[in-house]
Amino acid sequence: MDGLGASHCYLRGPSDSLTVVEHCDKKLETSPILFVNYIFGFLLLLRTLLVFQPMPKKESPKLVIPKHMAVVFTDDAHVYLSCLIDIIAHSVFYGIEKLTFFDPWCILESRKYEIIAELRKFFESRPNQRRILFNEESDGEATKALRVTILGSNDGRASLVRACKQLCHSTEEVSIASVYEKLATEHIQDPDFLLKVGNLNSLAGYPPWNLRITELLSISSFEVQNRVQDYEFLRFLQAYSSRDRRIGK
């Protein structure tokens, strides 16, 4: 009994769902009309329970984690260090193996050591997290480190020019594999998923060779300008998971 003088009784419906029926302590009136009302109400409730079908659980698609995710900033106003740290932290959590960041103004490239220092501070208090390595660093052992690459405008078409300059002296014919090999030495690889941040619907000079079958997702900005919330990052992964990667078939 609650303080209002009403009591509760519980009915288990056909699907074992619980329904709370509140009724008054008030004595049942013996008036025939009121009695009919009660019977009518009871019949209505019974009908509702009998036809009640629980809403089928909407199955969310299985989360597919991209092995390599790229983030491209097409608006220099969105390039925040805190966003990078958040994305790296979420990637560690979800098991992404490689992250590439790109902006055509080379803002991130110019602040690389600042980024590394901030990351070290952030992960000092989280010793059990996966290691994070930047390209120049070697992991020494076969650990599942998250590898982070920061690229700028000099890594776009220019990376293919550098590859061509090396391959033009080869005695063997140029092949797709040989170009991949040259780009890999600069840590430029195909991202499975590319998140483009900014209002410009352009790839802003991101290394073109590697976007062959990359799934693209555009957002104008993060919900909080200088942070990437965990639910937001999950939404990005869900969007990626829902894509149908047919590859020509």
Q: Does 247 bind another protein (CB under 8 A)?
A: yes
Query: Minimum Å distance from CB 15 to another protein?
Result: 36
Q: Does 248 bind another protein (CB under 8 A)?
A: yes
Q: Does 110 bind another protein (CB under 8 A)?
A: no
Rounded CA-CA distance 140/130 in Å is 14
For another protein, the closer CB: 37 or 154: 154
Q: Does 160 bind another protein (CB under 8 A)?
A: yes
| Helix axis angle, 81-94 to 112-124, nearest 10° | 50
Rounded CA-CA distance 232/223 in Å is 8
Q: Does 167 bind another protein (CB under 8 A)?
A: yes
For another protein, the closer CB: 76 or 137: 76
> How many residues touch another protein (CB under 8 A)?
44
Task: Quickly tell me which residue has 């939404």 as its tokens.
Answer: 235
Residue among 34, 36, 39, 174 that touches another protein (CB under 8 A)? 174
Taking CA 28 as the corner, what is the angle to CA 26 and CA 30, rounded to the nearest 5 degrees? 140
Per-residue binder mask for another protein (CB under 8 A), 186-215, x = binder: -------------xxxxxxxx-xx-xxxxx
Rounded CA-CA distance 102/108 in Å is 7
Cβ(75)–Cβ(200) under 8 Å?
Answer: yes
Residue among 7, 37, 175, 221 that touches another protein (CB under 8 A)? 175
Strand-strand pairing, 6-12 and 18-24: antiparallel
Nearest CA-CA partner of 228 in 81, 77, 63 = 81
Q: Which residues bind another protein (CB under 8 A)?
A: 74, 104-105, 153, 156-158, 160-161, 163-165, 167-170, 173-176, 179, 199-206, 208-209, 211-218, 243-244, 247-249
